[in-house]
Amino acid sequence: MIKNKKNILILGGLGFIGKNLIEEFLLDVNYNIIVFNFKNQPLDNKWLNKNVKLYYGDFTLVTDLEKIFKENKIDIIFHLISTTIPSSSNNIIADINHNLGGTIKLLDLMRNYDIKKIIFFSSGGTIYGLPNGSFPDRFSEDYQNNPICSHGIVKLTIEKYLYLYKHFYSIDYLILRLANPFGEYHFSSVQGLINVTLKNIANNEPTTIWGSGEVIRDYIYVKDCVRVIKNLIDKNIYNDIINIGSGLGYSVNEVLNMIKKITGDFKINRLESRKFDVPKIVLDVSKIKSIINFKPTDIKIGIEKTYNWILKNSYE
C-alpha cells in the first residue's frame, strides 16, 4: 500500500457523474475509492477487482452513513446525491428534508468523525435563475442568484451552510457549479437533452422538446468535467465556488441539428414550454481556466463519443 494514500468517499457514486469520477480516480494509485449508493446495483464488472469499495444505503439515515465512517478514515467526500431534478418543484418539503436536511446531517457527521474536506456538486444550470435585469452573456460565480426551481434553491442553501461549517468548524468545501454534463454512464431518461435524445434515437423512439427550442444551455462533456475536478483536488483548491462548463451556449434546436448530422434524422415531440426553464444559461468559466489548463472538448466530438458509447452499451 502506498503511504499517504487518500480515501475518497463518493456519495451517489453509481450515478452518472459518480461512475465517471470512479474511472478518473482509478487512474491514480494515490486514491482509495469508497462508493455509497442508494440503489442496490452492482459495481461494473471491470471495477470488481480494482480499488473500489461499495456501500449501499439511504443518505438521509445517519446510521447508514455512520457505518462507512466507523469502518474507514475518509479524507475527502464527494457529495453528488440529489433526490430532485430541476423539474420537480411539486414537493418542496420533501426536497428540503431529504437534500438540505440530509446534507446538514452529513456535515454534523463530518464534525464527529473529523472529516475535513467536502466537494459539493451544485447546479450551474439552475442556481442563477432569472437576473434582475437583462440576461448576461455568461454567469460568473458572483452573479446574483434567483433560482426558479426548488432544486436550485436547495443547492444554493447548501452552499450557504457549507460556508457556515467552514466558518465554525473548519470543514473545507469546494463548490462546483456544473453546467449540463453529457456523456458516458448517463442513465436518466428524464434529464439531459443530449443523452436522452441519443438514447431515444438508438431505441428508435421520439424525443420530447418543451417550447420552441430556443432555450440556450452550456453543455459540458463529462470526461472534461471529471478531469477538471481531479485537477482541482490535486491542486488542493478549497473554500471556493467554481463554475464548470464549456463557456459556450447552444440552443436546443442547435443541439438537435448537431445530433442529426451524426445520427441521421429522428422524430421530435414538441410540447408547451415549461415555467421553470430559464431562457439562457451560459457559465463564465474564466475562474476555472485561471486555475487549471482547461480546453473543453468540442461538443460535436463529445456527442459522437457519447453516441458510440450508447450504441455499444445496451440498457433499458
Enumerate binding residues for its own copies (CB under 8 A): 89, 92-93, 96-97, 100-101, 104-105, 129-130, 132, 142, 144-150, 153, 156-157, 160-161, 163-164, 167-168, 275-276
For the bound state, the minimum distance from the C-beta of residue 258 to its own copies, rounded and expressed in Å, comes to 31
49 alpha-carbon distance from chain centroid: 26
Cell numbers given for 298: 468540442
Nearer to its own copies, 46 or 275 (CB): 275
Smaller CB separation from its own copies, 166 or 260: 166
Q: Tell me whether residue 23 or residue 95 sits nearer to its own copies (CB atom).
A: 95
Cβ at position 274, least distance to its own copies in Å: 11
Tell me how long the chain is.
Answer: 316
Q: Which is nearer to its own copies, 160 or 295 (CB)?
A: 160
Nearest to 117 by CA among 18, 23, 234, 25: 234
Rounded CA-CA distance 85/292 in Å is 29
In angstroms, what is the minimal distance from the CB of 162 to its own copies?
A: 10
Intra-chain end-to-end CA distance of the chain, in Å: 39
At its nearest, how many Å lie between its own copies and the CB of residue 48? 38
- In whole angstroms, the minimum distance from the beta carbon of 244 to its own copies comes to 20
Nearest approach in angstroms of CB 54 to its own copies is 28
Minimum Å gap between C-beta 97 and its own copies is: 8
Q: How far apart are CA 78 and CA 24, in angstroms?
A: 13
Asked if 156 and 145 touch (Cβ cutoff 8 Å), the reply is: yes
Look at strands 250-251 and 216-217 and give their pairing: antiparallel
Distance CA 35, CA 57 (A): 10
Sequence-separated (6 or more) residues with CB below 8 Å from residue 258: 250, 299, 300, 303
d(CA 294, CA 272): 37
Q: How many CA atoms lie within 13 A of 192 on its CB side?
A: 22
How many angstroms separate the Cα of 56 from the Cα of each of 7, 16, 51, 129? 17, 16, 17, 34
Shortest Cβ 83–its own copies spacing (Å):
16
Query: Is 26 or 104 the residue whose CB approaches its own copies more closely?
Result: 104
Residue 185 or residue 276: which is nearer to its own copies going by CB? 276
Asked if residue 257 lies in contact with residue 52, where contact means CB atoms within 8 angstroms, the answer is no
Nearer to its own copies, 175 or 256 (CB): 175
**Which CB atom, from 105 or from 230, has the smaller least distance to its own copies?**
105
